[in-house]
A and B are shown apart, each in its own frame.
Chain A
Amino acid sequence: MMKHSITLTVNGDRYTLAVFPWRTLNEVLREDLNLTGTKRGCGTGDCGACTVMVDGRTVSSCLTLAVDVDGKEILTVEGLAPDGERLHPIQEAFIEKGAIQCGFCTPGMEMSALYLLSNHPRPGEREIRHGLSGNLCRCTGYNKIVEAVAEASRRMEKNNGAPGGGRKP
């Protein structure tokens, strides 16, 4: 079987890679690019721990073939706060509201939260819960995650709708 050459833009960086056609985006991110922030909790698209953004929409990276996202822009948790100093308001709120326990669902939760807030900047509690319904968490009972997303929404609004203090997501 031949490898395919693909080009991905991940968190603003361009990579040209040769991948087998059956390799998932999750495997390529974690194993080839060493972006291990994106997790793999089930491999069947049920838990949401592997959620990333492809061209501004959330996908389960464990169900997405790398060859299918050739030429696309990918955002992972590592791209939320690219300079490493100032965190994204979603990350800040997760930390401060106690939304993190074991942390394994956190990167996927944050990506789902980002997608939700990009489309509904001021969601109510019901929308937040619905927006997170593709992500499982076994530690927190979700309530503090819901509070964190509400808090992030307030902070992002203060930043004039620009997440991360004027940076694009």
Chain B
Amino acid sequence: MKAYSIVGRDIPRRDARSKATGSAVYTDDIKLPGMLHGRILRSPVPHARILNIDVSRAAALPGVKCVITGQDTPKIKYGNWRLFPATQDEYPLAVDKVRFVGDEVAAVAAVDRDTAEEALSLIRVDYEELPAVYDVRRAIRKDAPLIHEGSPGNVSVERKIAYGDVRAGFREADYVREDTFTVHPVSHAYLEPCSTVARCDPDGRITLWTSTQTPYIVQCLLASVLGMRENDIRVIKPFVGGGFGGKMELRPWEFCAAFMAKKTGRPVKFVLEREEELVFGRRRHPMRITSKVGFKKDGTLVAKDLKILLDGGAYNAMGPTATFLCGNFGAMLYRYPNYRFYGRHVYTNKPPASAMRGFGAPQSLFAAESQMNMAAEDLGIDPIELRLKNAQVPGDVIPDVATISSCGFVECLREVARMSGWNRKRKTHKPGRGIGVGCYSFISGGVFNWFNTQYPFSAAEVRAFSDGTVHLLTMASDIGQGSDTALAQILAEELGLRMEDIRVTSADTAMTPQADLGSWGSRVTLMAGNAVVQAARQIKEALFGAVSARFNLNVIYDFECKEGRVQARGRPDRGVSFGEAVAMAQKANRGEPVVARGYYTPRNKGLVTPAFSFGAQVAEVSVDRETGLVEVEKIWTAHDCGTVINPTAVEGQLEGSIHMGLGYALSEELRMENGRTLNRTFLDYKMPHAPDMPANESLCVDTYEPEGPMGAKEAGEGLVSPTAPAIAEAVYHATGYRCKDLPITPEKILKGMKK
């Protein structure tokens, strides 16, 4: 590992103090003069034609300032960002039909929330109910109700991948197995409910403060649905209370706030109730995954044929991207010489599923890793040995996707086996106790550009000042993961400054450089980090020139920024303070400020990602054979995220991922009945609490990613995938019950043990 002075150190997050004291301002903490409060009326039925909406009584209620329905709006569709117009299937407010319980039908803005709520009850909507469909296998049948015109069979998107010769591969195989797995819907359950405040300036321009992961995308899509110019809309991201993929689209309340602010001339705020989040909100895709794999007798993988039906709910949302990615995740981690994928994104009359941490990976990897464990048992090979035999290594090529650069997967497998005492525990275990393994690989940001833009993927501006400080401006969005801190660390490292010398302004589309595609796909550290490095290097060039001139040095000298100084390398006496160097560079250039911009867009990196992360995880469980209750005793993780920028932040991502993975495996589930989500509160949605967390031990293997800033790559998202398959295998080891339909509940275990 390279030696750095600030990168790699446990530096507390820059916003920790304001969060610890309660002074950090989140969207719902914003209060503007004259501000109105908005509420949304939602469909009570899963599928219906809207015959008539009568808002007259609501509009007449004292205190109500604005009531809108789809008919009042420009009726411009959005959805799945904007690369493929055919996949845009959603109006901000329903125009002709409602397609799920919770579909947005009308909105009210009033002087206070209670009045707005009362007004909703006075709106009368006449529906003509239509037959509805909730199951993907029924939805694709010919006689199923059609949810969207133009999507016959309710399939909105199909994706195929094929390389090698799958048929020949299976002929070559000594052992073939096919399994079908189903996975369930879960909620992002970020603690901060979605919220937004819109203000219309006297010149008609809109300023939107909103709880989002993607300010630039909200700016562009909001402009499009309002029929406005992009730069007449300014989106500011205040502090955001978590996103996990649930805040990366344009949302109806953002449209309604802006539209009604324009209509009334008064600021409008929307804050969702938790019930709206759970019952009507976006969720992780439920899927039906059929996977056929073939091996040689010695464990060598020869072919894989993967078919996935994604239950998309009523609209595309980000589902087409998830469909695309499932195909890629299905071929990660191991060398598949022959591979075929067929994914279909299917409409059902349920709340739309969309992006959620892992974005297809937790589902595909639950299937792939579980199947790997089953095959290992049948082949009589240890599960970790079987993985080692097929593991991707640096230089491997995934056809049409990428050449893998840094890859510490083999090291991860060996380390996790060592840390967990795998060999011993696997062979000698007490009844009711078990140990299992699951692995992951993930992307460091997407190359697939589903958002059509002329701007680079990430940008950074650095302004240097003669008092020795610098100002970093970037549209990258810190939603709690800590990107403001990580980017400042990268900048401080590059410029030889201290953290306190760096001011950060981020995620304001009118003030920070265009553009940044947002916080998703684990893209920020690598992409925005590279933009920061590029800007910093230009600043250094300007300063090096000034210092060289000042000391009249031979041109062979190299220079460095170190400990607040700019100096000739090896000759610290030939140097000045950073601030003095800035002043000199400015004076040499007629006072022009020392400012530089850096950009990053992946080049020659295939269509998926510039860099892959890897990891292996082992879970040890005990299962109460009377009640079927699973206790996860300990989790060991070895992962490869390249250079670690901030160890505490990386551990925080890992521990948060274990929490989410544990919930996905064992306790969290949005229970559905006739298109209705039954979990209305956190009491009914079983997210792990502090006492439920297992002990955990982790290790980062030492790798250096040449495409990443200072060797870094993703650390926040891939880690959420291995936990469920590891726990499922451990439960099998303990009880003989093999879970193929998440979550693993006591009922399923008890039933499975009887067999």
Question: Which single residue of chain B is at the shortest CB-CB distance from A98?
Answer: B648
Q: Contact between B682 and A76 (Cβ–Cβ < 8 Å)?
A: no
Interface string of A106-134 (1 = CB under 8 A from B): 11001000000000000000101110110
Closest to A131 in B: B690
Binds B, one of A2-10, A44-52, A64-72, A158-166: A44-52
Known: A42-B274, A141-B659, A142-B659. A102 touches B20 (CB 8 A): no
Given contacts A137-B191, A138-B659, A144-B651, whether A91 and B693 have CB atoms under 8 Å apart is: no
Specify which of B15, B31, B648 is in contact with A103 (CB 8 Å cutoff).
B15
A141 touches B691 (CB 8 A): no
A136 contacts chain B at the CB level, 8 A cutoff? yes
Q: Nearest chain A CB to B719's CB is how many angstroms away? A: 11
- Please give me the residue from chain B that is nearest to A35 by CB atom: B22
A139 at the interface (CB under 8 A from B): yes
Contact A46 B20 (CB under 8 A): no
User: Who on chain A is nearest to B187 by CB?
Assistant: A138
Q: Does the CB pair B192–A102 fall under 8 Å?
A: yes
Quick one: given A43-B274, A133-B689, A137-B191, are A98 and B239 in contact (CB under 8 Å)? no
- Cβ-defined contact, B480 with A102, below 8 A: yes
A146 in the interface (beta carbon within 8 A): yes
Contact A98 B191 (CB under 8 A): no
Q: A44-B683, A129-B691 are in contact. Are A102 and B28 (CB under 8 A)?
A: no
Interface of B is mostly: loop
Q: Are B660 and A138 in contact (CB under 8 A)?
A: yes
Pair B21/A98 contact, Cβ less than 8 Å: no
B22 and A37 contact, CB distance less than 8 A: yes
Q: How far is the CB of A23 from chain B (nearest CB, A)?
A: 10
Given contacts A103-B24, A138-B191, A141-B659, contact A46 B683 (CB under 8 A): yes
- Select one of B657, B687, B690 contacting A129, CB under 8 A: B690
- Chain B residues, CB < 8 A from A100: 13, 16, 19-20
Pairwise interchain contact A105-B690, C-beta atoms closer than 8 A: no
Known A47-B191, A110-B20: A138·B690 in contact at CB below 8 Å: no
Chain A's interface size range is 35 or more
| Contact status A95-B651, CB under 8 Å | no
Is B265 an interface residue when CB atoms closer than 8 A count as contact? no
Cβ-defined partner of B22 (8 Å) among A78, A129, A141: A78
Q: Please, how many angstroms separate the alpha-carbon atoms of A30 and B29 in the complex?
A: 8
Q: What is the 8 Å Cβ interface bit string for chain B, positions 1-37, against chain A (1 contact, 0 not)?
A: 0000000001011011111111111101101000000
Cβ B274 vs Cβ A141 within 8 A: no
CB distance from A152 to the nearest CB of B (A): 11
What residues of chain B lie closer than 8 Å to A104, measured between beta carbons?
26, 190-192, 241-242, 480
Is B696 interfacial (CB-CB < 8 Å)?
yes
A38 near B689 with CB under 8 A, answer: no
- CA gap between A97 and B193 in the complex, in Å: 26
B479 at the interface (CB under 8 A from A): yes
Question: B652: CB under 8 A from chain A?
Answer: yes
Does B72 reach chain A (CB closer than 8 Å)?
no
Interface size on B, residues (CB 8 A): 55
Among A37, A91, A96, A98, the residue within 8 A (CB) of B652 is: A98
- Provide the bound-state CA to CA distance between A132 and B691, in Å: 8
B192 and A39 form a contact (CB under 8 A): yes
For residue B414, give the distance in angstroms from its CB to the closest CB of chain A.
25
User: In the assembled complex, which residues on chain B have CB atoms less than 8 Å from the CB atom of A139?
Assistant: 242, 480, 652, 656
Task: For the complex, give the distance between the alpha carbons of A30 and B195 in Å.
Answer: 15
Any chain A CB within 8 A of the CB of B318? no
Q: A78-B22, A138-B191, A141-B659 are in contact. Are A36 and B244 (CB under 8 A)?
A: no
Cβ-closest chain B residue relative to A148? B20
Q: State which of B21, B190, B240 has its C-beta within 8 Å of the C-beta of A78.
A: B21
- Closest chain A CB from B648 CB (angstroms): 4
Chain B residues, Cβ within 8 Å of A106: 19-20, 22
B274 and A44 contact, CB distance less than 8 A:
yes
Q: How distant is B646 from chain A, measured CB to nearest CB, in Å? A: 9
The 8 A CB mask of A68-91 against B (1 = contact, 0 = none) is 000000001110110010010001
**Would A80 and B21 count as touching, CB distance under 8 A?**
yes
Which residues of B are interface residues toward A (Cβ below 8 A)? 10, 12-13, 15-26, 28-29, 31, 188-193, 239-242, 244, 273-274, 479-482, 648-649, 651-652, 654-660, 681-683, 687, 689-691, 693, 696
4 closest residue pairs by CB, A with B: A37-B22, A102-B480, A103-B19, A104-B241
Q: List 20 A-B contacts (CB under 8 A).
A: A36-B22, A42-B681, A76-B22, A95-B16, A100-B20, A102-B241, A103-B239, A104-B242, A105-B191, A106-B20, A129-B690, A136-B189, A138-B189, A138-B660, A138-B687, A141-B652, A141-B693, A143-B696, A144-B648, A144-B652
Measured CB to CB, the residues of A under 8 A from B are 30-31, 34-44, 46-47, 49, 76-78, 80-81, 84, 87, 91, 94-98, 100-107, 110, 126, 128-130, 132-133, 135-146
**Known contacts A98-B12, A143-B655, A145-B690; 9 further A-B pairs (Cβ under 8 A):** A42-B681, A78-B21, A95-B16, A100-B13, A102-B192, A104-B191, A107-B22, A126-B691, A138-B659
